[in-house]
Amino acid sequence: MAVVSWKEICLLTGLVVGCYWNSLFCGFVFDDVSAILDNKDLRPTTPLKNLFLNDFWGTPMSEERSHKSYRPLTVLTFRLNYLFSELSSSSYHLLNVVLHAVVCVLFLHFCRLLLDRSTSLIAALLFAVHPIHTEAVTGVVGRAELLSSIFLLAAFLAYTKSKGADHSIVWTPIISTVFLVAVATLCKEQGITVIGICCIYEVFVAQGFTLPMLIDTLLQVLRGKDGFPYAVLQTLLKLIVLIISTLLLVIVRVQVIQSQLPVFTRFDNPAAVSSTPTRQLTFNYLLPVNAWLLLNPSELCCDWTMGTIPLVESLLDPRNLATVVFYAMLSLLAYHSLWYGHSSSKIVMMALSLIVLPFIPASNLLFPVGFVVAERVLYVPSMGFCVLVAHGFKLLSQRGGLKKTSWLLMGVLLTTHAVKTFNRNWDWESEYMLFTSALKVNRNNAKLWNNVGHALENQNSYERALRYFLQATRVQPDDIGAHMNVGRTYKNLNKSREAEDAYLIAKSLMPQIIPGKKYATRVAPNHLNVYINLANLIRANDSRLEEADQLYRQAISMRPDFKQAYISRGELLLKMNKPSEAKDAYLRALELDHTNADLWYNLAIVNIEMKDPSEALRNFNRALDLNPRHKLALFNSALLMQESGVPENSLILKA
């Protein structure tokens, strides 16, 4: 294996910086908002242990609304960013660019195991500039892919050193491999798939087996004609260690998510809730869609959910032809790599393992995931794609009259990809730019219309936002969230009647109670806010307070752990002069979240209404223990002390 030179490292690093330097001017957009801006796990005041108890978005793994994405080491790097620069987005983007450069160098090391010096460099250069990576590199949440890829490649490179000069097993690299796999998995779940890549490398590359040879060896052993050769026994032992390690990691992973898959709505992944054969036809069609994005990354989109890709509902759908062609090509490549023992087949074998295995967890074929297509999950599979392209380029350039033409084509490909990547980065500068660029690719996704509306709403441009929200309801009439957005915007425009009508439409789309029938249904937690929003709107009218209370109680009946419903109901009950019931509502909310300073403050206000100043003072102090700068608690506590004649020394210390 040729050693990677400093010149090659500098070339790759320079190319990455050239393609991605403008990403440093981008802000936090899309999923970054939830993972960075709204994630309390990044704050120094949050205990470090919370990173290992919560999911990627800061939600406790035990809660149903958790996405079950357990990536504590990735969140730890976000926390380090916050420690140095708080919420300055440029530092987060800079670290992503650095990590991408590291992945490119490690990938070059990987390619050197299979390809010659120039071909491996071509593969690494193509990987460095491929536009499909903009979501993983320029989107801050894509760091999960970057970190996982670093440890995935490091684990594989460590494993390649597990064979001694006398063909004995060297255990230190294997132990390192298992450790690095575990670390990769703590960065993102797909890191565990490198175990499969190591197994394929061991059998078909290191040991040089072809599928016919492997079958013949197994048959001879089963017939008792011969025992396993020593080299084969060594291989089996290594594979057993890898497989057992994988099983242990899977068991731990299942325990972490408490044996529950996350809850996704049909808007996130319409095919997941479709019947046979629509579900199977659609999920299989998504494979050639992803392959086409690698081949032709000209139209990239940040969100492929909802109606972006219409369901494949019939065998007569012409899109099934793309599925057939994809499987035919995959089968031909697999046949070439499994049946022949020359170097080309080994290259194809390893390329296919990189394409297929890391993609399987995101393919929807084994279990549903929360998206239809996500460009950032193609980060590792694109490595295998780049190996295939570079290998094809080498074969083409070796043909006499095609050498200059092939080099010219490769130069054009690298240049156009680099320019596309650089320009695509600007789309991530702001949410408005990102989602409007997505609408140029796809106008059938209501989520995109909603997100442009949200971006305009954040700029207080409510009239323009309303137009986008209304278009979302036209694109997807049964989208509860879109109607809720319309209602909220009408409220911001002081159009209460129109707001109520929009909320009522959203409420009518919620699962309805069927008299005389019992059934269970799963409701997206954010959709339950329609009851809160509607109740908050109508309780402005004193004659409709009971109606508002009924809505709060309905939300609680649908989800007994709905904290906000208890809080809002407590405020209403206080307004209705029912302090005892308001106290019960706040106590129930505190059972769900006892670290909320506002809740202790609200409870103290109820205590004052119930003529219990000593209990009120205790609850004000609890609020101040949690948030020493809680202005309302400070003011009311001081006022209460003054009225009751209690010394204010303790309060002064808190202030």
Backbone angles phi, psi at 645, to 5 degrees: 80, 20
Q: How many angstroms separate the CA atoms of 124 and 7, rounded?
A: 14
pLDDT of residue 645: 61
For 326-357, what is each residue's pLDDT tens digit? 999 999 999 989 998 888 999 999 999 999 99
* Nearest of 484, 451, 445, 481 to residue 465 by alpha carbon: 451
Q: How many angstroms separate the CA atoms of 532 and 578, rounded?
A: 19
CA 97 to chain centroid? 19
* Nearest of 89, 90, 41 to residue 69 by alpha carbon: 41
CB of 15 closer than 8 Å to CB of 85: no
- What separation in angstroms does the CA of 645 have from each of 93, 332, 614, 638? 55, 87, 12, 10
pLDDT of residue 263: 59
- What separation in angstroms does the CA of 21 have from each of 82, 95, 124, 373, 423? 21, 11, 19, 27, 11
CB of 473 closer than 8 Å to CB of 483: yes
Residue ranges of the chain with per-residue pLDDT less than 70 = 1-2, 64-65, 224-231, 258-267, 513-525, 644-655
The structure tokens listed for 190 are 């797909």
CB of 80 closer than 8 Å to CB of 99: no
Q: How many angstroms separate the CA atoms of 272 and 368, rounded?
A: 6
CB of 531 closer than 8 Å to CB of 554: yes
pLDDT of residue 399: 80
Q: What is the 3-state secondary structure (H, E, C) of 621-637?
A: HHHHHHCCCCHHHHHHH
Overall fold of domain 433-654: 1.25.40
Q: Is the peptide bond before 277 cis (omega within 30 degrees of 0)?
A: yes
* Nearest of 651, 548, 637 to residue 600 by alpha carbon: 637
- DSSP secondary structure letter of residue 54: B
- DSSP secondary structure letter of residue 263: P
pLDDT of residue 650: 47
- What separation in angstroms does the CA of 547 have from each of 201, 543, 566? 66, 9, 16
pLDDT of residue 261: 62
Q: Which part of the chain has CATH 1.25.40.10? A: 433-654
Q: How many CB atoms lie within 10 A of CB 308?
A: 21
CB of 549 closer than 8 Å to CB of 504: no
Residues sharing a CB contact under 8 Å with residue 219, sequence separation 6 or more, in sequence order = none
pLDDT of residue 7: 94
Tell me the DSSP string of 65-76. Answer: T------HHHHH
CB of 576 closer than 8 Å to CB of 602: no
Sign of CA dihedral 171, 175, 180, 185: positive
CB of 151 closer than 8 Å to CB of 104: no
Tokens 């690719």 belong to 441
